[in-house]
Amino acid sequence: MWNGFESKEFIFAERDARIIYPKVNANGRLLFKTEYLDAFPGFDIAMLERGYHLIFISHRSRWAPDNEIDIMADFVRFAAKELGASEKCILEGMSCGGLQAARFAEIYPELTSVMYLDAPVMNLLSMAGLGECKDEGVQSFYREICNTFGVGSSTIINLRKSAIDNMRPLIENEIPIIMLYGNADDCVIYTENGKVLEDYYTANGGNIKVIAKSMCGHHPHGLDDPALIIEFIEKNMK
């Protein structure tokens, strides 16, 4: 069980995977939470109550290298076939999950309906300490990113695997985005991450709704009442 909902746990591509079932009749749509399954589940529960299946797969690296994105795509196709659902999933990405969601949508737009991003990482260099990140974990972020991509102090500056390095497919495929952030977040710095995406969408006529949470840090994610997020998703999903 997961928060009172039936849950199936299994291994997919040597990773822990999970499908969580709505109690009401399923509506044929998948909500793919890309990271931190148990964190701030209010939105997920509300979507389950509306008939969505919630799916999740664990990752070897939270920094969205290509091989992890490919496994995510295989998992979405598997889950859609297993459940008789659309392969075009709703992507939910919190923090590093936002990086995973955005890169997934950039590489596999055909599997993406709409994105909900929440204080999303979009810039690996920002998180590796080359920007204004003041989080106490920034040194561990740096080591994780270097290990994931095989770079070091002299080569990390050339790393081009951030979501902000390949945003054009999001516009070309008209992928709608709702994005939340806290204006007091000193970990995932909005001007170095989500704001780059916001500005790109605004400049190129993309469909984006941004909600700033006053005096809010990196946590908590979500809204006390997720109705605004749900309304955007259901109005814009393909």
pLDDT, tens only, 93-133: 999 999 999 999 999 999 999 999 999 999 999 999 989 98
The pLDDT value given to residue 5: 98
List pLDDT tens digits, range 132-175: 988 888 999 999 999 999 999 999 999 999 999 999 999 999 99
Please tell me the predicted confidence (pLDDT) of residue 12: 98
Tokens of 124: 């690996």
When pLDDT is cut at 50, 70 and 90, the band that residue 41 belongs to is very high
User: What does the pLDDT read at residue 225?
Assistant: 96
Q: Which residue has the tokens 């920094």?
A: 63
Does the structure show a pLDDT above 90 at 24?
yes
Residues 234, 236: Cα–Cα separation, whole Å: 6
What average pLDDT does this structure show over 78-89? Answer: 98
pLDDT of residue 136: 86
Q: Supply the pLDDT for residue 38.
A: 96
| Contacting residues for 203 by C-beta, under 8 A, at least 6 apart | none
Fold (CATH) for 7-122+166-236: Rossmann fold (3.40.50)
Which among 144, 43, 26, 28 has a CA at the least distance from the CA of 80? 28
**pLDDT recorded at residue 137:** 87
Domain ranges in the chain? 7-122+166-236
Contact 112, 104 (CB under 8 A): yes
- Whether the pLDDT of residue 63 is over 90: the answer is yes
In this prediction, residue 87 has a pLDDT band, given cuts at 50, 70 and 90, of: very high
Mean pLDDT of the 2-16 span: 97
- pLDDT for residue 216: 95
pLDDT tens-digit map of 168-201: 999 999 999 999 999 999 999 999 999 999 999 9
Please compute, for residue 166, the number of CA atoms within 13 A of its CA located in the half-sphere on the CB side: 19
Backbone phi, psi, residue 20, to 5°: -115, 130
| Interval 34-54 mean pLDDT | 97
* Predicted local confidence at residue 235, as pLDDT: 97
Return the number of other C-beta atoms located less than 10 Å from residue 133's C-beta.
23
Upstream peptide bond of 220 is cis (omega within 30 degrees of 0): yes
Q: What is the mean pLDDT of the chain?
A: 97
Whole-number pLDDT of residue 134: 85
SS (H, E, C) the chain: CECCECEEEEEECCEEEEEECCCCCCCCCEEEECCCCCCCCHHHHHHHCCCCEEEEECCCCCCCCHHHHHHHHHHHHHHHHHHCCCCCEEEEEECHHHHHHHHHHHHCHHHEEEEEEECCCCCHHHHHHHCCCCCCCHHHHHHHHHHHHCCCCCCHHHCCCCHHHCCHHHHHCCCCEEEEEECCCCCCCHHHCHHHHHHHHHHCCCCEEEEEECCCCCCCCCCCCCHHHHHHHHHHCC
